[in-house]
Structures are given as structure tokens and as C-alpha cells.
Amino acid sequence: MKHTAVLTGAFALLLSAGVAFAASDTATLGVFGDWKAHSFVDAGTGGKACFMTSEPKKTEANVKGVNRGKIAVFVTHWAADKTKNVISVSMGYPLKEGTPVSVTIDGKTYALATNLSNKAEEVEMAWAPDQATDDAIAEAIQKGSRMVIKGTSRRGTLTTDTYSLKGTGDAYQAISGDCGF
């Protein structure tokens, strides 16, 4: 399946780009409300990748004192293979196998897939299972005002992350323009 192949091959690169926003090979396209837009050249394909990202405004867990790593949501376009609207979430902890991550935008809920591989850099990631879901979430993000993402860690900790969607329309236009979509 093309969607899964793109995801599993690209997430290590996206994670490193997401963690290192200030890296010299990652260009900042702008800050739009609560979202940032960036691009970089994918070393594997030589094509441009453009992504918008945000961190939660509020995080909650059913256990006090939970330590989490990088928490962020991404919408990514990969110009080389004309893939757009790839939705991914870094939960900041290894996800419990068999439990999806839920994304709720203004009352509509979507299920994200987890554990598509055993790669260490992907056990904290969740993503839309197909292009139709990617497209629906990308559209809802641009039109919505609030997004809530819920997940379960391998230890059974339940987390709820609340994101502002302020600036998503402009951030989406920036990544789409820069990657030629």
C-alpha cells in the first residue's frame, strides 16, 4: 500500500525535522497563529517536504507526574511522490499496541493507526490509516477551532492533548504553495 510505504519510510526524517526546527537544512516558511510551517529537502528522494506543526496548549494525564517526550501534530506534503495531507502525531511516549489514538476536531472524531512498525522512532507516532482520512482531518484542521488528541501509553496512562487551530488555514496555504500543491 503506497500510503503505508510513504509513512514508514518518512517518519524518521520527519521526526528529526520536527525536533530540530532550527536546523540549517530546514527552512521556516512562517509562524501562523499557533502553527509553524517548514520545508526541507528529503535526502531519500531529493524532493521537497513541507509540513505544518503545533504543540498542545494543554496536556492532561490520568497519572500525576507523567514524563513525556516531544508532543506535536504534523500535516505534511511530500512533493516527490505527490503525497499530501499526511497526518501524524508524536505522542511523547511509546503507544500501547492495539489501541488507536483519537483525534476530535469540533465534535468529529477520527481514529489514527499506531504501531505500524517496530522501529524505535515510530513507537510514539500515530497517523491516519489512509489518504481519505488524511484529507478529512487536514480539511477539518483548517476549518476547526480546537483539536483534542487522546492516546494510551504502553504503561496504560491515558493522555489528552488540546490544540488550538488558530492559524491553520494560513499555515496550510504556506506548505501547499512551497511544495507546489
Per-10-residue mean pLDDT of the chain, 181 residues long, equals 41 42 72 97 90 97 91 96 96 91 97 78 89 98 97 95 98 97 94
Q: How far apart are CA 165 and CA 91, in angstroms?
A: 18
**Contact call for residues 75 and 52 (beta carbons, < 8 A):** yes
User: Can you give the pLDDT at residue 137?
Assistant: 98
User: Can you give the pLDDT at residue 22?
Assistant: 38
**Contact call for residues 61 and 158 (beta carbons, < 8 A):** yes
- Rounded to two decimals, what is the model's pTM? 0.86
In CATH, the number for domain 2-178 is 2.60.40.1880
Q: Where in the chain are the domains?
A: 2-178
Q: Which of 66, 84, 75 is nearest to 112 (CA)?
A: 75
